Amino acid sequence: MELVIQLLVFLLIVLSTILVVGIPVTLASPGQWEESKNSIYISAGLWSGLVIITGVISSFTV
């Protein structure tokens, strides 16, 4: 079970790093918001889901 939590936390860290770099670059680039809006919303939803799933699974460990 701990291996699953470690994998989820690793994925959360990787996705957070990508979003921290990617979102400001997208917003600063002219015209990129319209092209990248859907992928940013999907990534933010995936990040939120990972946070919730990691919290739920970690509550089952002792």
Q: For 44-62, write each residue's pLDDT tens digit.
A: 999 999 999 999 999 998 7
Q: What is the reported pLDDT for 31? A: 87
Greater pLDDT, 61 or 7: 7
pLDDT tens for 27-45 read 999 988 888 899 999 999 9
State the pLDDT at residue 1: 86
Q: Kindly state the tokens that stand for 49.
A: 């889901």
Distance CA 53, CA 47 (A): 10
The model's pTM is 0.85
Question: What are the residue ranges spanned by the domains of the chain?
Answer: 1-14+36-62
d(CA 61, CA 43): 27
User: Do the Cβ atoms of 52 and 8 come closer than 8 Å?
Assistant: no
